[in-house]
């Protein structure tokens, strides 16, 4: 009986935990995202307003449109794709927020494979 009570208390403490999700604070601004490709760490900087996102990667700028599904999810689509792969839309979902950063999950629309990443907000306005 004592073990059952201890187990109940443990689940009660952790069962109600909700990660912070202040997605509204990340709808606009300048952000940075780092990814490891092979043995190299590559940095992408992007500026987002409510409907447009401009990515800066390796000295080139690329514009995408944004369609918000709700406060924490949106669809990104390249404005001027140069191949079939770039024509595919990406579903982005903010999972958690923490100070000036957020953890997100993304996938090509219609495909089951999902990846995760973290972006840091550098400035408040786009």
Contact 55, 46 (CB under 8 A): yes
The CATH number of the domain holding residue 109 is 2.40.128.20
In a domain, 5, yes or no: no
Per-residue confidence (pLDDT) for residue 7, from 0 to 100 = 46
Domain presence at residue 11: no
> What is the rounded distance in angstroms from the CA atom of residue 109 to the CA atom of residue 39?
28
**Residue 17's pLDDT is what?**
53
Cα gap 30→26, rounded to integer Å: 9
Confidence at residue 4, expressed as pLDDT on a 0 to 100 scale: 47
Model's pTM, two decimal places? 0.78
Q: Is residue 12 part of a domain?
A: no
Evaluate whether residue 81 is within a structural domain.
yes
Q: pLDDT confidence of 66, banded at 50, 70, 90?
A: very high
Question: How many domains does the chain divide into?
Answer: 1
Owning domain of residue 75: 18-123
């Amino acid at each position: 009986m004592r073990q059952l009570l201890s187990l109940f208390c443990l689940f009660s403490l952790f069962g109600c935990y909700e990660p912070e999700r202040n997605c509204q604070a990340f709808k606009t601004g300048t952000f940075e995202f780092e990814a490891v490709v092979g043995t190299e760490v590559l940095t992408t900087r992007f500026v987002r307003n409510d409907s447009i996102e401009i990515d800066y990667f390796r000295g080139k700028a690329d514009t995408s449109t944004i369609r918000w599904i709700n406060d924490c999810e949106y669809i990104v689509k390249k404005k001027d794709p140069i191949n079939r792969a770039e024509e595919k839309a990406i579903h982005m979902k903010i999972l958690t927020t923490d100070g000036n950063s957020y953890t997100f999950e993304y996938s090509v629309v219609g495909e089951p494979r999902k990846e995760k990443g973290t972006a840091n907000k550098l400035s408040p306005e786009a």
